[in-house]
Structure 1
């Protein structure tokens, strides 16, 4: 049995909201701040990885 890799989304801001993106099947909305040093953050609920556009390809 294999587990699919979490989704990675490229964003333009350093503060984003994540709600799982599946309506009623998602999770509570959380606000996440991307690190200015690493350029990414992972959602603690769905493990989606958000990468700032300036760090795309470097993470």
Structure 2
């Protein structure tokens, strides 16, 4: 069985919230800070990747 790659979301802010997006099956809401140097951050619970719109080419 193969596992799907974690979701990647392009955002326009450097501070984002993640709750797993699955209602009761999600995880506690956490706030994540995207580094202006790196341009992306991954959620420690669900591995969802948040990429700032100004860094979409750099994160690939």
Query: What interval of TM-score do these two structures reach, taking the shorter chain for normalisation?
Result: over 0.9
**Count of residues in Structure 1 that have an aligned counterpart in Structure 2:** 59
Unmatched runs of 5 consecutive residues or more in structure 1: none
Partner of 2:26: 26
Unmatched runs of 5 consecutive residues or more in structure 2: none
Render the CA deviation track for 1:14-45: whole Å, top value 9, x for unaligned: 00000001111100000000011010000000
Question: What is the TM-score of this pair, normalised by structure 2?
Answer: 0.94
RMSD value over aligned CA atoms?
A: 0.6
Runs of 4+ in 1 over 2 A off after TM superposition: none
Q: After TM superposition, give the deviation of residue 57 of structure 1 in Å.
A: 2.0
